[in-house]
Structure 1
Amino acid sequence: MRAARLISMVLLLQNRGSLTADQLSAELGVSPRTIARDATELAEAGIPVYAEQGRGGGYRLLDGFRTRLTGLGRAEVEALFLSGAPEALSGMGLDSAALAARLKIGAALAPSVREAPRRVGQRFHLDAPGWFRKLETPDALAELSSAVWSDRLVEVRYRRGRRLGETAEPEPVTRTLAPFGLVLKAGVWYLVAGVGDDVRIYRVDRFDDVAVADTEFTRDEDFDLAAFWRRQQEEFAASMMREHIVVRLSPDGRQRLHRAVDAATVAGAEFDEPDADGWTRARLPVETLDVAYEEMLSLGPDVEVVEPKPLRARLAEAARRLGELYD
């Protein structure tokens, strides 16, 4: 929004003293030409912005000018508490609110502590995704985030994963959910939502369709999302592991297993003693056929799936096709 950008420009100049057009355009995401127009508009509105020419020049506010536009709005306060995770903010559509909040706080700080935010930013950073995983923004995230903030029900279509032995994709289910909160765990978004009298957890990337209803739900003010998530983490991970597979692992496969599968799989694994060739038979909990297939495929020739037969057949077919490529 243009009005928000003009306010942000004033607060940037108030916080930092002098900024070039290129610096302002980088901060605000517009062209230097737009910055020049904004500066003219601010000056015409009575805000004493002026340009200094020459080397070291830039836009400044008249000495002694202080804006009182430092009151934080609700969205900015909410975004501020998430400001350590910029990718998460962007996915929920709150990056502009977070920038405005930081600028307003900077403008309100006394000169003696105004460097504190910069010092913190130099020293600490929250990186939400796990290693070798790009943080993906599910299509439904922005709408779910809006529903969470406004306490509105959502009508959804949700895809569950295939269970072992199923050959066809399950039909999506429709649900009316009361979205209590969103959790970003190791690069994956989850929705914690009420369904009737139950509270359940859904992977956001499995929502095919989300419609925010006009109907508000009554939020339980005693519900603590962080405490709920802590209680449910182990239980939730275990509940996702609905099936088991039996495999044989080479010594290298046993060593690499923790990098190929989920931590809950490793925690629930049961291993026999290695045989004379060093291979270990193991029983592993898995989430779905698709997940198990991808995880075992990543171990290549260092794993043999013994059971169930549908998964073994699928990997055998993958091996056959791979052999044809290199034959």
Structure 2
Amino acid sequence: MRAARLIRMALLIQSNPGLTGAALARELEVSERTVIRDAQALQEAGIPVRSERGRGGGYHLAPGYRTRLTTLHPSEAETLFLSGVPSALRDLGLADAAGAARLKLTATLLPSVRAAAESSVRRFHLDAPAWFREPPTPELLPELARAVWADRTVELSYLRPGPGGAPPSAVSRTVEPYGLVLKAGTWYLVARAPDRGWRTYRVDRVTALDPAPAAQEPFARDPDFDLAAHWEDRSAAFARALLRDTITVRLTAPGLRRLPAVVDGAAVEEALASASAPDAAGLVTLELPVESQEVAFDQLAGLGADVEVLAPATLRTRFRERAAALAALYRADTP
């Protein structure tokens, strides 16, 4: 375990000269004291690691020194060949480039390692989208990916969902595109707007994309930005931000058990916190956050008679009309 960490530390210093002890500790998930001990162990093993203080300091290897630790182990090659999601590469327009890179990498591997890599491809396939749907690839995704690669500020037109089931409104934003995230088959753009801070946009709602008029040079990317950490921190808040409306519902015990299967988990958690105690008939009333009345109608219709919408009146009317239509449809004993 420690040997693997020492190898990783040496490669990190080689590829990122000047990393501080704190930065190495974060990357290796150890304490700074452990980093100091590991640096001493590398020196004793003949790897010339040195630590410098002051501006421009940090950990360095001796000038001109390159480690010989870059030979892939079979298990590392297996992991590398599993690291791409084929559908994501296709959506981004990178399938051909990824295939060429994989062929070049395969050609450089030792026969034993090459066999391990090919074996992993035959045994594992990563399929990102959810079951029972084939989400369309957003038309502007490849162009947006090129802007992300080039650190190019863009002006995008975006359809923002309207409140309470109102039609979406078109807005324009000038943003610095930092990264793209594929979540359950849906692509999201993480961007920084100079006047609005960090924002997340659904790519399928972007209707137009142009270079920002005043942007001649690439924007200065924050070197400390970590897309994965940012997404983890913001995804829960983002999911909650989508819940712009609230409805009042009454549920049977089976309906309450099935509720997490049809609506967002964050909405269920918040709703249960404000739920009433079961009444004499075992029914529970709660305030349920929803994205819109339209979305709520589609989601709750799957619960049938196990849910009753109490408010707002417009949504209750829709369910009453649906119930009347179903009753009329099934009134006859035979088709």
- The match for 2:204 is 205
**1:83·1:89 contact (CA, 8 Å) conserved in 2?**
no
Deviations 1:102-121 (A, max 9, x none): 11100011112111212222
Find the residue that maps to 2:160 and give its secondary structure: coil
- The match for 1:318 is 322
Equivalent residue in structure 2 for 1:299, among 292, 298, 303: 303
Deviations 1:191-220 (A, max 9, x none): 101111401111112222223458332221
Residues of 1 paired with 2:327 and 2:142: CA distance?
A: 43
Find the residue that maps to 1:228 and give its secondary structure: helix
- The match for 2:35 is none
Q: How does 1:146-295 map to 2 (within 5 A)?
A: 146-164=146-164, 168-197=166-195, 198-213=197-212, 215=215, 216-270=218-272, 271-295=275-299
Higher relative contact order (CA 8 A, sep 6+): 1
**Structure 2 residue identity aligned to 1:92:** L
Kindly state the Cα deviation for residue 172 of structure 1 after the two structures are TM-superposed.
0.9
Residues of 1 paired with 2:298 and 2:115: CA distance?
A: 48
- The match for 2:312 is 308
Residues of 1 paired with 2:189 and 2:283: CA distance?
A: 40
**2:187·2:202 contact (CA, 8 Å) conserved in 1?**
yes
**2:162·2:169 contact (CA, 8 Å) conserved in 1?**
no
**2:250·2:283 contact (CA, 8 Å) conserved in 1?**
yes
**1:154·1:176 contact (CA, 8 Å) conserved in 2?**
yes
**Structure 1 residue identity aligned to 2:162:** R
- The match for 1:92 is 92
Distance of aligned partners of 1:156 and 1:289 in 2 relative to their CA distance in 1, 3 Å threshold: farther
Kindly state the Cα deviation for residue 82 of structure 1 after the two structures are TM-superposed.
8.5
- The match for 2:70 is none
- The match for 1:132 is 132
Find the residue that maps to 2:169 and give its secondary structure: coil
Kindly state the Cα deviation for residue 227 of structure 1 after the two structures are TM-superposed.
1.0
Are residue 145 (structure 1) and residue 149 (structure 2) matched? no
Q: Which runs of 5+ in 2 are unaligned?
A: 1-79
Find the residue that maps to 2:154 and give its secondary structure: strand
**1:157·1:174 contact (CA, 8 Å) conserved in 2?**
yes
Kindly state the Cα deviation for residue 177 of structure 1 after the two structures are TM-superposed.
1.6
**2:245·2:291 contact (CA, 8 Å) conserved in 1?**
yes
**Structure 2 residue identity aligned to 1:161:** P
Q: Which runs of 5+ in 1 are unaligned?
A: 1-79
**2:179·2:191 contact (CA, 8 Å) conserved in 1?**
yes
**1:245·1:283 contact (CA, 8 Å) conserved in 2?**
yes
**2:178·2:191 contact (CA, 8 Å) conserved in 1?**
yes
**2:155·2:211 contact (CA, 8 Å) conserved in 1?**
yes
**Structure 1 residue identity aligned to 2:291:** E
Find the residue that maps to 2:153 and give its secondary structure: strand
Kindly state the Cα deviation for residue 88 of structure 1 after the two structures are TM-superposed.
0.9
Kindly state the Cα deviation for residue 130 of structure 1 after the two structures are TM-superposed.
2.8
Kindly state the Cα deviation for residue 158 of structure 1 after the two structures are TM-superposed.
1.3
- Per mean C-alpha deviation after superposition, the further-off stretch among 234-243 and 105-114 is 234-243
Kindly state the Cα deviation for residue 229 of structure 1 after the two structures are TM-superposed.
0.8
- Per mean C-alpha deviation after superposition, the further-off stretch among 110-119 and 81-90 is 81-90
Kindly state the Cα deviation for residue 308 of structure 1 after the two structures are TM-superposed.
1.8
Kindly state the Cα deviation for residue 81 of structure 1 after the two structures are TM-superposed.
8.7
- Give the RMSD, CA atoms, in angstroms: 2.3
Question: TM-score with structure 2 length normalisation?
Answer: 0.67
Deviations 1:243-290 (A, max 9, x none): 221111223322221111112212222232233333221221112233
**2:81·2:121 contact (CA, 8 Å) conserved in 1?**
no
**2:152·2:176 contact (CA, 8 Å) conserved in 1?**
yes
Residues of 2 paired with 1:217 and 1:242: CA distance?
A: 33
**Structure 1 residue identity aligned to 2:268:** V
Deviations 1:19-53 (A, max 9, x none): xxxxxxxxxxxxxxxxxxxxxxxxxxxxxxxxxxx
Deviations 1:117-173 (A, max 9, x none): 122223433232233343432222222112111111222221122312x5x414211
- Per mean C-alpha deviation after superposition, the further-off stretch among 314-323 and 248-257 is 314-323
Residues of 2 paired with 1:323 and 1:141: CA distance?
A: 45
